[in-house]
């Protein structure tokens, strides 16, 4: 979930319909350094207990590479859904920091991360191969309204441990 403030305005188009008059990125931000002008986290991953509606856990999703060590865990604006395995892993790559991550579905602890060529603004997929192993795949392309550079065009697959 992106947690960034923005300014929006509506405009009436010539055909009478109403549209957003804001630029694609209307956040309160320092666009040059990709820093939001508000207290982090700027993006989170949230697990909800479907039986009670309570938040089970909430963690920052994404890091800001330009920040000094110890202050990088800001969360980042994100778009793209999580994929949850029966084995209890949550895979997500939606943050604009070009990483795909796995979290423990019970605790929210990050258990795996890999740096990609660009952001993975998509929902990862998984399947079981003929060899019985489980595979995971995501695209690395960037782009989207998050102003992530469209600097890659890869589809990457990983085999999960047996």
pLDDT digit string, tens, across residues 37-50: 788 898 999 999 99
Considering the chain, what is the average pLDDT of its residues?
88
Task: Return the ∠ at Cα 123 (arms to 133 and 94), rounded to 5°.
Answer: 120
Kindly list the structural domains of the chain, giving each domain's residue range(s) and its CATH number in brackets, ordered by start: 26-159 (2.40.128)
Q: Give the mean pLDDT of 139-149.
A: 76
Angstrom distances, CA of residue 6 to CA of 3, 22, 23, 38, 124: 10, 9, 10, 11, 28
Entry pTM: 0.83
CA 40 to CA 4: how far, in whole Å?
9
Question: Which is nearest to 92 in space by CA: 153, 48, 44?
Answer: 44
């Amino acid at each position: 979930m992106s947690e960034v403030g923005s300014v929006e305005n509506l405009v009436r188009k010539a055909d009478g319909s109403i549209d957003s008059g804001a630029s694609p990125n209307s956040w309160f931000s320092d666009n040059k350094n990709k820093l939001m002008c508000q207290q982090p986290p700027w993006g989170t991953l949230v697990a909800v207990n479907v039986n009670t509606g309570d938040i089970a856990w909430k963690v920052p999703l994404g890091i800001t590479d330009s920040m000094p060590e110890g202050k990088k865990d800001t969360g980042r604006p994100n778009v793209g859904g999580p994929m949850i395995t029966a084995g209890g892993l949550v895979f997500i790559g939606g943050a604009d920091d070009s990483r795909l991550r796995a979290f423990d579905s019970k605790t929210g602890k990050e258990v795996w991360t890999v740096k990609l060529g660009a952001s993975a603004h998509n929902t990862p997929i998984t399947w079981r191969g003929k060899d019985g192993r489980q595979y995971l795949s995501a695209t690395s392309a960037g782009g989207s309204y998050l102003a992530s550079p469209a600097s890659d065009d890869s589809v990457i697959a990983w085999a999960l441990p047996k």
